[in-house]
Amino acid sequence: MDDIAELLKSDEIRQRYATLPADYRAAFEWRSKWLMTAHQHQIVPSGDWWAIWLLQAGRGAGKTRTAAEQTGWWAWQQPKTRWLVSAPTSGDLRGTCFEGESGLINVIPSILVRDYNKTLHELTLTNGSLIKGIPASEPERFRGAQWHGAWLDELAAWDYLQEAWDQIMLSVRLGKQTRIICTTTPKPRDLLIELNGRDGEDVTITRASTHANLANLSPTFQKQILQYEGTKLGRQEIYAEIIDPEDGGIVKRDWFQLWPHDKPLPKFEYIIQSYDCATSDKTQNDPTACLVLGVFKPLDSPMSVMVVDVWNERLQYPDLRPKVISEYDVVYGTEEGKSLGGKKVDLILVEDKSAGISLIQDLQRAYLPVQAYNPGKADKTQRLSIVANIIQAKRVWIPESSNRKGYVRDWAEGFVSQICSFPECTHDDMVDAASQGLRYLRDAGWLDIDPIPHYDDAEYVEEPRQRRGNPYAQ
């Protein structure tokens, strides 16, 4: 408080200060102390052009303290306003944003607080302003309420990020100038990449490393965090860099073979449509994906596959069934002037769970060549790892773009990006479709790849089979 005392040396200022109500004096001392001690990256950006302040900083850089200070000040500065606070979970709200060492309760002077309901995550100030916490893990709870602004903490760690974000954007609508503070240690989530792309438009971004606040961190933490200097994790957690998700992917982009755009498509010997269905027919978030693989024999090379089509859509079950039946009628490899002859689908492969169960039954009734696929105990990462060596061995081809030499066609870019980013990708529907399609072809004898990684997926029973047989036939 020495700096405030320095300001009050003037008799005139001291006399005016003495006439202020106690709560106003407390607010003045609170704000003055913060502005005099905060680091540059902790000061709210100037200007009224921005609506979202993204504070993208490393661990321990002071993100929580910054947002608590600014959100609390806005609420006090504008009487009878409403402010939202959200964090990954209810425990994070209470333990970090409200009651943490740098949280709202410990930042805002107690004389300015009328009430705090820890059960409802509600903090009411004496000027009538409300600061309300809602966990991001329950996106539907953002419906109905409306706010003048919000503090969204650790955005990159939200499980239902896009859903929660959409609801919040629709609810922050009060007043002439809405303000949102987003504090996070970054990860390559789609929303964060989008916000970074909007820098200078309606988003202002402040970046800071752990080093900016290192002196205020415990020696033990300093020692622990600095062990990651020079690593990819350190770039993310210390320097707040958004790491390209493909850097750590199981599959690398250059493993795929590009089929020249001006070369006729090969003659396919076998066509498989591999489906990964959404969790249920009521799912709005997860897409259903279809990957079409054509088996062919390149000149002077072993049997290979080509990705001849891939798509994903958010489909409820009544729309999914006719879509699959329509896709079955497609003839692949008939691009005019670039084909040696088209081929119809030989097999529809569908994972035997959730909406896939109903789909399998309906397709069987329609007498389509559908086969259920059971991945056993192997998790998603193991499933991709099992077939990754097929791609690494240059046995998977993708048609080249006719407009951009050296790149895949536009319709395939989403698939390549997703599979090369896995497990950091937002959705993994196309990854699952690829994993089961490639494994089926390998186990059926179309693709001979050694060695095969071993994982504990004992439920996946592999019987002796003949080449090109159906390994899942009952």
DSSP string computed for 87-136: -SSHHHIIIIIISSTTSHHHHS-GGGEEEEETTTTEEEETTS-EEEE--T
pLDDT of residue 64: 96
Amino acid at 329: D
pLDDT tens, 309-323?
Answer: 999 998 888 888 899
Q: Report helix angle 380-392 to 429-443, nearest 10.
A: 60
Place of tokens 């105990």: 377
- Strands 288-296 and 203-208, by their bridges, are unpaired
pLDDT tens, 27-44?
Answer: 999 999 999 999 999 999
What's the pTM value of the predicted model, to 2 decimals?
0.65
Instruction: Provide Rg for the chain, Cα atoms.
Output: 28
- Strands 130-133 and 122-125, by their bridges, are antiparallel
Strand partners, 82: 130
Amino acid at 377: K
Amino acid at 187: K
Buried b or exposed e, range 274-289, using 16+ CB within 10 angstroms? bbbbbeebebeebbbb
Strand partners, 57: 208
pLDDT of residue 316: 81
pLDDT of residue 472: 44
Burial class of residue 35 (count of CB atoms within 10 Å of its CB; 0-12, 13-18, 19+): middle
pLDDT of residue 245: 67
How many angstroms separate the CA atoms of 474 and 466, rounded?
15
Weakly modelled stretches of the chain, pLDDT under 50: 1, 281-284, 337-339, 451, 454-455, 458-474
